[in-house]
C-alpha cells in the first residue's frame, strides 16, 4: 500500500565517509519512511566549509550498496540559496532579526559568567539591544555581523518550546536568539533545515539524537515562518565502549573499512539490523520485507555501544 502522505529524508553533510553510526541512522530513517509506504528523499547539507566534493558520490554509493533507495535526484542546499534568503528576508522585514557582532570567545565568556542570565548554551542576547550609534560603529569596524532570530520577549529570557518526539516523548528546550545567517552570509543549519523540510514536503524527520536540542528552535522557527513542522524521531547514536560518539579513530567504521575486513554489504546491513534488535535478512532485497514489518516502538532507546575491530593494514 502506498501512503502518499509520508515523506522522510536523509540529510548528510558531504564532509567525510559515512561511518556505522551514520549508516545505521540512514537505515532507520529509510525503514521509518518505507514502512509507512512513504517517500524517502536525499538532501546534501553542503553549506558547511568542510565539504569535500568526493563525498557526494561516495555517500550515495555506500548507501545504494547497502540496498537503500531514495526518490528523485538528491538535492543540494548549495543549489537552494534563494529559498533561504527569501525566508531570512521575510523575518527581517517583520523585525524578527538583529545583527550580532559577538565572537565565539565573547559568547563563551558571557555564558560562563557567574550568575549569567542564560541557561547553558543559550546566546545571552548581548547584541539584541545595541543602541543605534553603537550599531553604526560596529558596522564600520569591518567584521560582518551574523544575523540572529529575535526569539522571546527579552534576550535574557529565551523562549521555550516543547516537541513530542516519536521515540523519546515530550522534550522541552530553549529557543534562544540563534543564528539564522553566519557572518560570511551563509544560511545557518537551523534556518536551512526548516526551510528545506517544508519546501520538500518532508513531514517525517528521523535523525541522530545529538540534534534533539536543536529541535525546539527548529519547530519555533517553522511556526514563525508559517510552515508545518515535521514529526520527529531521534534515534540514539553509536558509542564507543568509552562512551564517546563513534569516530573514525575507533577502528574499522566506514563502509570501505568493513569491506577491507572481508565483510559483504549484507554482513554490514545485518550488523546494523541486529544493533536495532531487528532480524537479519538473507539478501539485501529482504529489506523491503523488513520495512513492511518494521515497528518503531520496538527500537532500543539506549545507544548502541560498539567496539569496532582494528583497520586492516
Catalytic residues: 248
196 part of the interface to ligand GLU, by CB under 6 A: no
Quote the DSSP letter at residue 163. Answer: E
177 part of the interface to ligand GLU, by CB under 6 A: no
| Site size toward ligand GLU, by CB under 6 A | 7
Residue 218 CB, nearest approach to ligand GLU (Å): 8
216 part of the interface to ligand GLU, by CB under 6 A: no
Q: 87-119 as b/e, with b when 16 or more CB fall inside 10 Å?
A: bbeebeeeebbbbbbbeeeebeebbeeeeeebe
CB-CB contact of 205 with 43 (8 Å): no
Residue 22 CB, nearest approach to ligand GLU (Å): 7
The pairing of strands 97-100 and 75-76 is: unpaired
Closer Cβ to ligand GLU, 11 or 198, answer by number: 11
Q: How many residues are given for the chain? A: 313
Using DSSP's 3-state secondary structure scheme, residue 43 falls into: strand
As beta bridge partners, residue 208 has: 235
Closer Cβ to ligand GLU, 87 or 127, answer by number: 87
195 part of the interface to ligand GLU, by CB under 6 A: no
238 part of the interface to ligand GLU, by CB under 6 A: no
Residue 276 CB, nearest approach to ligand GLU (Å): 18
Stretch of 11-19, 86-94, 125-133, 266-274 contacting ligand GLU, by CB under 6 A:
11-19
209 part of the interface to ligand GLU, by CB under 6 A: no
Distances in Å between the alpha carbon of 308 and those of 22, 121, 199, 279?
Answer: 14, 32, 39, 21
Sign of torsion over alpha carbons 7, 278, 305, 272? negative
Closer Cβ to ligand GLU, 41 or 66, answer by number: 41
CB-CB contact of 206 with 235 (8 Å): yes
Instruction: Pick one of 6, 7, 8, 11: the residue that binds ligand GLU (CB under 6 A).
Output: 11
Binding mask 41-70 for ligand GLU (x = CB under 6 A): ----x-------------------------
Binders in 244-263 for ligand GLU, by CB under 6 A: none
CB-CB contact of 228 with 34 (8 Å): no
Residue 163 CB, nearest approach to ligand GLU (Å): 13
Closer Cβ to ligand GLU, 47 or 122, answer by number: 47
As beta bridge partners, residue 127 has: none
211 part of the interface to ligand GLU, by CB under 6 A: yes
Instruction: Pick one of 13, 58, 126, 231: the residue that binds ligand GLU (CB under 6 A).
Output: 13
Closer Cβ to ligand GLU, 110 or 211, answer by number: 211
d(CA 291, CA 31) in angstroms, rounded, equals 5
207 part of the interface to ligand GLU, by CB under 6 A: yes
Residue 142 CB, nearest approach to ligand GLU (Å): 31
d(CA 67, CA 153) in angstroms, rounded, equals 49
CB-CB contact of 191 with 221 (8 Å): yes
d(CA 212, CA 206) in angstroms, rounded, equals 11
Residue 137 CB, nearest approach to ligand GLU (Å): 37
As beta bridge partners, residue 227 has: none
Residues at the site binding ligand GLU, with contacts judged by CB under 6 A:
11-13, 45, 193, 207, 211
Amino acid at each position: 500500500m502506498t501512503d502518499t502522505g509520508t515523506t522522510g529524508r536523509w540529510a548528510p553533510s558531504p564532509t567525510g565517509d559515512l561511518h556505522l553510526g551514520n549508516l545505521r541512522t540512514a537505515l532507520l530513517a529509510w525503514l521509518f519512511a518505507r514502512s509507512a509506504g512513504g517517500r524517502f528523499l536525499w538532501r546534501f547539507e553542503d553549506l558547511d566549509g568542510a565539504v569535500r566534493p568526493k563525498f557526494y558520490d561516495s555517500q550515495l554509493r555506500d548507501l545504494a550498496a547497502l540496498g537503500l533507495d531514495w526518490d528523485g535526484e538528491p538535492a543540494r542546499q548549495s543549489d537552494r540559496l534563494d529559498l533561504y534568503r527569501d525566508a531570512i528576508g521575510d523575518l527581517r522585514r517583520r523585525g524578527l532579526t538583529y545583527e550580532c557582532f559577538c565572537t565565539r570567545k565573547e559568547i563563551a565568556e558571557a555564558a560562563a559568567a557567574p550568575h549569567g542570565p542564560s541557561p547553558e548554551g543559550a546566546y545571552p542576547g548581548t547584541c539584541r539591544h545595541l543602541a543605534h550609534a553603537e550599531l553604526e560603529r560596529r558596522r564600520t569596524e569591518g567584521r560582518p555581523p551574523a544575523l540572529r532570530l529575535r526569539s522571546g520577549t527579552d534576550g535574557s529570557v529565551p523562549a521555550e518550546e516543547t516537541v513530542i518526539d516519536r521515540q523519546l516523548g515530550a522534550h522541552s528546550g530553549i529557543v534562544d536568539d540563534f543564528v539564522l545567517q553566519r557572518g560570511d552570509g551563509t544560511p545557518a543549519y537551523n534556518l536551512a533545515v526548516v526551510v528545506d523540510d517544508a519546501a520538500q514536503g518532508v513531514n517525517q524527520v528521523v535523525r541522530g539524537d545529538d540534534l534533539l536540542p536543536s529541535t525546539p528552535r527548529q519547530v519555533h522557527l517553522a511556526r514563525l515562518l508559517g510552515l508545518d513542522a515535521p514529526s520527529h524521531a531521534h534515534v540514539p547514536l553509536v558509542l564507543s565502549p568509552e562512551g564517546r560518539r563513534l569516530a573514525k579513530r575507533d577502528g574499522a567504521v566506514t563502509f570501505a573499512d568493513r569491506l577491507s575486513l572481508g565483510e559483504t554489504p549484507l554482513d554490514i546491513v545485518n550488523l546494523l539490523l541486529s544493533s536495532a534488535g531487528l532480524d537479519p535478512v538473507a539478501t539485501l532485497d529482504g529489506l523491503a520485507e523488513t520495512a513492511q514489518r518494521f515497528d518503531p516502538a520496538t527500537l532500543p532507546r539506549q545507544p548502541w555501544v560498539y567496539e569496532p575491530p582494528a583497520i586492516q593494514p
